[in-house]
Chains A and B, each alone.
Chain A
Amino acid sequence: MVTSFSQNILKRLDQGICPYILVLFHMTMGSLLVYLYPRSNLAFLVLITSFFSLYYFNTHRLFKLATGVILTLLIFPVVGVRNIFYLEVIFQISVFSALALGLNIVVGFAGLLDLGYVAFYAVGAYLWAFFGSQQYYILHYAPGTQPSGLPFLLPGDAFYLFIFVAILIAALTGILLGTPVLRLRGDYLAIVTLGFGEVIRVLANNLDKPLNFTNGPQGITPIQRPTMPHFAVDSFNALFSNIVGHRVSAADMYNVMFYFFALIVIVVIVFVTRRLDDSKIGRAWTAIREDETAAIAMGVPLVKMKLAAFAVGASFAGAMGVLLAGSRTFISPESFSFMQSIGVLSMVILGGSGSIPGVILGAATVTILNLQVLQGLSLYLSQLRQSDAVIPIIHFAWANLSTQLDPAKYQRMLFGLILVLMMIFRPAGLIPSKRRKRELSSEANVIEE
């Protein structure tokens, strides 16, 4: 009864002008709250969720597009610059959205469980890390022994070129890995890809000898960024410094720039994914996911199509890798652990395997849980620990609480919980994928009858 009642209300609210008011209200409330309380996680959550109420409510396409653009291109960066931590959250959400969208092609569409997806991310990151740093000149030095004052191999602006190079190289890596592996099905494929992910990480860890390609566990730094046009900082300051409250430095502006790059990648991925999904290739992928035997009997070349899925998924991760290397100016093997692959996978599963909005929602939820909720709880606990507070009834002093119970350490448990709970209660994800409805002439006939 309660659910039908609330559904009824939602339906009411979703008619006529109501949704427009709701979305705009949500958005302005969010912006206002963040403006008034720049340190509050809650205020930020209100703002972020307005993006999803924009998706959920039934409004005109143009309105959605315009509001979405204003939110992502104007409000998020301005808010982010005001509190640079928010920008980090937004940037991470967009990075993980892009990764999850890439993995979604492999797992969601083609149904190939890839547990080593982060390897392709690493390929892209190390590609730019090598060519965009001094690494080339210290090939013959052991890590840490290189002389100072070495030149950079390529200018920072080669970054743009390397986004495309990384797309190619990562796709090739995907094909190279896929060729021997894709004859396997299901669990076997998962295990082998898991191994491959580890191989790439171990390679990155150990390729500091005989020739020092990756600088080993220390990682490569500094990695160059593309040059920031000076007018970007100036014009941003001229426009928004009143709202932001302080002058924005070039370093902060870089974060905004990389956030925009990530957005561009996301837009490209969504575009490519949607176009492919609605074509011979996408249908072949879904057919493979549904029933391999039937698909191949219908003339779908299994290995070729699986390789295509791997290559497309990998290429997006490669592009994001270059972005990561450029934005962080530092890369080490730690960033590409197995946990990262699992994290991205849990985003896909939480959001809804095969569903584009779902996967983005999944990426946002997991990232916020990780960066804000868990860390916020940790912060709160450590405050309690430092105070003299005592848990009532059992008379346990917070100060005695073991640091092992720090919520920030329970990221893995969170991934595990998400995967298990989703499998039990909502296997299709938060926003399940839907097949496109076509306008068919025979359907029209039925309605006429």
Chain B
Amino acid sequence: MALLETIDVVKRFGGLTAVNKVAISIEKGKIVSIIGPNGAGKTTFFNSMTGIYHPEEGKILFNDRPLHGLRPDQIAARGISRTFQNIRLFANMTVIENILVGMHIHLKQSPLQTLLHLPTFKNEERDSEKRAEELMLYVGLKGIGNELAKNLPYGGQRRLEIARALAADPLMLLLDEPAAGMNPQETEDVTRLFRHIRDDKGITILLIEHDMRVVMNISEMIYVMDHGEKIAEGTPAQIRSDSRVIEAYLGRGAVAGQHEEKIK
């Protein structure tokens, strides 16, 4: 059964069609990647799924329910959690607070309980703090719960963003270039982490990634986008030998080369 299904999603910015009739279908519990050259519309597609943009045409079904017209926070409450291409942590909040914000949708404390510090409030805070610490350990952050997020090293910030997304207890995790800017060792570590997340928690993962080692290593299904369109889909092996994909990646360079020669 497909957990997430998009049917011919179109997103335009004025005259530019950034996402053109993209249809994907993601099975529950799978790790799926979207790849494609820069400007292919991958992040726009992500943003359309998470409610930051509203697609002009097409349908997005999550758990068989349409996401059309929902706000990002409502979509998050449905069980889609995400990270951002250019890390977007709450820089001046502590690590633990960042994770606690991720739990927002699950916290039931009412204003009255908060003001009076009723036992329900205190218990919930204690439990969520404990869970936040577990998540920190899970993603490999230890003993820095009181550090401000902005003071973390780059890799730590990436991990914290993943922990924050996990805190929402999502059904599906959207990761936008999670390995960008990481060294090979770090890349290997987070790749392992993604597999753990899927295996331990059963969370479906959809990732945009440029690093082919990551993509080919963990993806069970790959979609390839170019110029806003889906040009291929399949297993890593199929994608590797797909002529259109090779053309999209290598052919573009060749075309550009010819173009430059013409100008000369």
Contacts and interface: CB of A to CB of B under 8 A. Distances in A.
A284 B73 CA distance: 12
B231 to A, nearest CB: 28
B101 interface: yes
B114 interface: yes
Nearest to A433: B92
A87 B82 CA distance: 55
Nearest to B117: A275
B148 A297 contact: no
B14 interface: no
Contacts of A295: 90, 101
A438 B145 contact: yes
Given A287-B93, A297-B50, A440 B114 contact: no
A441 interface: yes
25 contacts: A272-B115, A275-B115, A276-B114, A279-B114, A280-B104, A280-B107, A291-B89, A295-B90, A295-B101, A296-B76, A297-B84, A298-B101, A299-B77, A299-B105, A300-B73, A300-B104, A302-B71, A435-B93, A435-B94, A437-B146, A438-B146, A442-B142, A443-B143, A443-B146, A446-B142
Most chain B Cβ neighbours within 10 Å, of A276, A281, A290, A298: A298
A64 interface: no
A272 B82 CA distance: 33
Interface stretch (B30-38, B129-137, B187-195, B218-226): B129-137
B210 to A, nearest CB: 22
A294 B84 contact: yes
A293 interface: yes
A49 interface: no
A286 interface: yes
Contacts of B125: 279
Interface string B90-120: 1111101100111011010101001101000
Contacts of A293: 52, 84, 88
A343 to B, nearest CB: 26
B202 interface: no
Contacts of A283: 93, 97, 100-101, 104
A295 B93 CA distance: 12
Interface in B188-220: none
A435 B102 CA distance: 17
A434 to B, nearest CB: 10
A284 to B, nearest CB: 6
Contacts of B72: 296-297
Given A300-B104, A443-B145, A435 B115 contact: no
B50 A438 contact: no
A445 interface: yes
A301 interface: yes
Interface in A177-191: none
A276 B148 CA distance: 20
B168 A299 contact: yes
A112 to B, nearest CB: 16
B133 A440 contact: yes
A299 B148 CA distance: 21
Interface-central residue, B89, B96, B121, B137, by most chain A CB under 10 Å = B96
A299 B84 CA distance: 15
A59 B58 CA distance: 65
Nearest to B134: A442
Contacts of A438: 94, 96, 129, 145-146
Contacts of B92: 286, 290, 435
B109 A280 contact: yes
Contacts of B142: 442, 445-446
Interface residues of B, number: 45
Contact of A287 (B50, B101, B105, B107): B101
Interface in A296-327: 296-302
A442 B145 contact: yes
Nearest to B72: A296
Contact of B52 (A272, A297, A445): A297
Contacts of A296: 71-73, 76
B129 to A, nearest CB: 6
Contacts of B76: 296-299
Nearest to B84: A294
Given A283-B97, A299-B76, A435-B93, A440 B146 contact: yes
Contacts of A302: 71, 73
B159 interface: no
B88 A299 contact: no
A278 B216 CA distance: 44
Interface in A28-80: none
B163 to A, nearest CB: 12
Interface string B226-243: 000000000000000000
Given A281-B111, A290-B91, 11 more contacts: A272-B115, A280-B107, A283-B100, A284-B104, A290-B89, A291-B88, A299-B77, A299-B104, A435-B92, A438-B145, A441-B133
Contact of B164 (A271, A290, A298, A443): A298
Contacts of B109: 279-280
A286 B104 CA distance: 13
Given A294-B90, A298-B104, A300-B101, A275 B114 contact: yes
A287 B88 CA distance: 11
A252 to B, nearest CB: 35
B104 to A, nearest CB: 5
A276 B111 CA distance: 8
A298 B102 contact: yes
B168 A298 contact: yes
Nearest to B106: A299
A281 B101 CA distance: 9
A276 B125 CA distance: 13
A276 B110 CA distance: 11
Contacts of A281: 111, 114
